[in-house]
Amino acid sequence: MEEIKVTGGQLIDTIKGLIKEGNIRRIIVKNRDGKEVFEVPLTLGVVGIAIAPLLVAVGAVAGIMNECTVVVEREPQAPESDPVA
């Protein structure tokens, strides 16, 4: 889990950047008090046009928040294997 503190104006750009990374499992947006206000599970099926409604909802949340925290749950990475000689 990774936490990123952002202002309402930075929220959409931050989430767009995270979605482009592609290794995100879930994004949670919390208000300044730590209360969860928005959660988005991102699966392989969430691509292209399915992202547009998500960003509209995030924009609505961003409009009412001054400060927030974006909690990012990333996909587990497979351990690198040692080459066998």
Average pLDDT across each block of 10 residues of the chain; the chain has 85 residues. List them in order: 88 84 84 88 62 78 84 76 57
Two tokens, residue 39? 């959660």
The whole-number pLDDT of residue 23 equals 79
pTM for this prediction: 0.73
User: Residue 4 has what pLDDT?
Assistant: 92
What pLDDT shows up at residue 50? 66
- Whole-number pLDDT of residue 5: 93
